[in-house]
Amino acid sequence: MLGRLAEQYRTSDKAGYVMVLPYILHFLLFTAYPLVFAFVLVFNRWDIVTPMEFIGIRNIQRLLRDATFWTAVINTLRFLASHIPLQIVLSLLIAVILNGPIKLRSFFRGAFFLPFVISGAVVTILWQQLYSTDAGILNLILNRIGMQPVPWLTDPAWAIYSIAIMATWKNMGFYIVLFLAGLQNVPHELYEAASIDGANRSQQFWKITLPLLQPVMLLVVILSTIGGFSLFIEPFVMTGGGPAESTLSVVLYLYKQAFQFLRMGYAATIGFALAIMIFVVTFIQRKLLDTDQPA
Amino acid sequence: MRTLTKALGYILLTVAALTFIYPFLWMASASLKPENEIGTLALISRNFSLRGYSAVFKQIPIGRALFNSGLVSITSTTSVLVFSSMVGYALARLRFLGRDSIFNLVLLTMMIPGQLLLIPMYILVVRLGWTDSYRALIIPAMISNMGIIVFRQFFKSLPQDLVDAARIDGCSDYRILFQIFWPLSKPVLITVGIITFIGSWNEVLWPLIVIRKWNMMTMPQMVTLFHVGGLANAQVAAEMAAAMMLAFPVIVAYLFFQRYFIESLALSGIKG
B78 lies in some domain? yes
Question: pLDDT-based confidence at B46, cuts 50/70/90?
Answer: confident
Distance from CA of A114 to the nearest CA of B (A): 8
Answer yes or no: is B49 within a domain.
no
Among chain B residues, the shortest Cα distance to A138 is held by B41
In this complex, do A19 and B173 lie within 8 Å of one another by their Cβ atoms? yes
CB contact under 8 A, A122 and B243: yes
Q: What is the pTM assigned to this prediction?
A: 0.92
DSSP designation for A51: P
Query: Residue A162 CA to chain centroid, in angstroms?
Result: 16
Higher local confidence (pLDDT), A202 or A119: A119
Give the three-class secondary structure for A44.
strand
DSSP-derived secondary structure for B141-208 = GS--HHHHHHHHHHHHTS-HHHHHHHHHTT--HHHIIIIIIHHH-HHHHHHHHHHHHHHHHH--HHHH
ipTM: 0.92
Kindly state whether residues A39 and A165 are assigned to the same domain.
no
Q: Please, are residues A52 and A34 in contact by the beta-carbon 8 Å criterion?
A: no
What letter does residue A261 receive in the DSSP assignment?
S
CATH number at residue B185: 1.10.3720.10
Which of A25, A30, A204 is the best mutation test for B, with the most CBs of B within 10 A? A30
Question: Taking 60 as the threshold, does the pLDDT of residue A293 lie above it?
Answer: no
Is residue A135 domain-shared with residue A264, that is, in the same domain? yes
CB atoms within 10 A of CB B180: 16
pLDDT at A10: 85
Which of residues A44, A59, A74 is at a domain's end? Answer: A59
Q: What is the pLDDT of residue B1?
A: 56
On whether both A161 and A50 belong to a single domain, the answer is no
Between residues B14 and A11, which one has the greater pLDDT?
B14
User: Per the domain annotation, does B27 fall within a domain?
Assistant: no
Averaged pLDDT for residues B74-100: 95
β-sheet bridge partners, residue A53: A45
Q: Which residues of B touch A35 (CB under 8 A)?
A: 112, 116-117, 120
A75/A213 same-domain check:
yes
How confident is the model over A18-77, as pLDDT tens digits? 999 999 999 999 999 999 999 999 999 999 888 888 998 999 999 999 999 999 999 999
**How many domains does chain B divide into?**
1
Query: What chain B residue is nearest to A236 in terms of C-alpha separation?
Result: B228
| Partner-chain residue, chosen from A12, A126, A272, that has the shortest CB–CB distance to B97 | A12
Same domain, A141 and A12: no
As a whole number, mean pLDDT of residues A249-259 equals 95
- Is residue B174 a part of any domain in this protein? yes
Q: Taking 70 as the threshold, does the pLDDT of residue A206 lie above it?
A: yes
Same domain, A123 and A237: yes
- Residue of chain B with shortest Cα separation from A141: B41
Per-residue model confidence as pLDDT tens digits over A99-138: 988 888 889 999 999 999 999 999 999 999 999 988 888 9
Mean pLDDT on B198-208: 95
pLDDT of residue A290: 64
Is B86 in contact with A106 (Cβ distance < 8 A)? no
Residue B46 lies in a domain: no
Chain A residue with CA closest to B142: the answer is A26
Q: What is the residue range of B138's domain?
A: 59-271
Query: Rounded CA gap, A214 and A289, in Å?
Result: 8
Query: Residue B68 falls within a domain, yes or no?
Result: yes
Number of domains in chain A: 2
State whether A23 and A8 are in the same domain: yes
pLDDT above 50 (res B62) = yes
Domain with residue A154: its CATH number is 1.10.3720.10
- CB < 8 Å & 24+ apart, contacts of A22-28: A22/B83, A22/B86, A22/B87, A22/B142, A22/B143, A23/B83, A23/B87, A23/B102, A23/B106, A23/B143, A23/B148, A24/B102, A26/B83, A26/B140, A26/B142, A26/B143, A27/B105, A27/B109
Q: Which residue of A has its CA nearest to B234?
A: A129
Separation CA B198–CA A227 (nearest Å):
17
Query: Is residue A186 pLDDT above 90, yes or no?
Result: no
How many whole angstroms separate alpha carbon A148 and alpha carbon A33?
Answer: 54
CB pair distance less than 8 Å for A22 and B228: no
Domain match, A114 and A157 both: yes
Chain A nearest-CA distance from B252, in A, is 11
Q: In this structure, are A31 and A129 located in the same domain?
A: no
Q: Residue B73 and residue B196: Cα distance in Å, rounded? A: 8
Q: Is A206 exposed, middle or buried (0-12, 13-18, 19+ CB in 10 A)?
A: exposed
| C-alpha distances out from residue B133 to A22, B13, B62, Å | 21, 46, 17
Q: Which of residues 209-238 of B touch A (CB under 8 A)?
A: 209, 219-221, 223-224, 227-228, 236
| pLDDT at residue number A295 | 35
Per-residue pLDDT for B271 more than 60?
Answer: no
CB A143 within 8 A of CB A149: yes
Q: How far is A294 from chain B (nearest CA, A)?
A: 24
Identify the domain containing residue A12 by its residue range. Answer: 2-59
Check whether residue A136 and residue A154 sit in a common domain: yes
Partner-chain contact A125 B148, CB within 8 Å: no
A178 and A106 share one domain: yes
- Check residue A229 and give its pLDDT: 93
Cβ distance of A35 and B120 shorter than 8 Å:
yes
Least Cα separation, residue A62 to chain B (angstroms): 18
Q: Are residues A215 and A258 in the same domain?
A: yes
Q: What is the pLDDT of residues B122-164, one digit of tens each?
A: 999 999 999 999 999 999 999 999 999 999 999 999 999 999 9
For chain A, percent helix, then strand, then coil, each to nearest 5? 75, 0, 25
Burial letters B241-254, b for 16+ CB under 10 A, else e: bbbbbbbeebeebb
**Chain A residues with CB-CB distance to B262 below 8 A:** 109-110, 113, 173, 177
Q: How confident is the model at residue A233 (pLDDT cuts 50, 70, 90)?
A: very high
Give the closest of A174, A233, A268 to B204, CB-based: A233
What is the per-residue pLDDT across B205-239, written as a single tens digit (0 to 9) for each? Answer: 999 999 999 999 999 999 999 999 877 777 899 99
Please report the pLDDT score of residue A11 as a whole number: 84
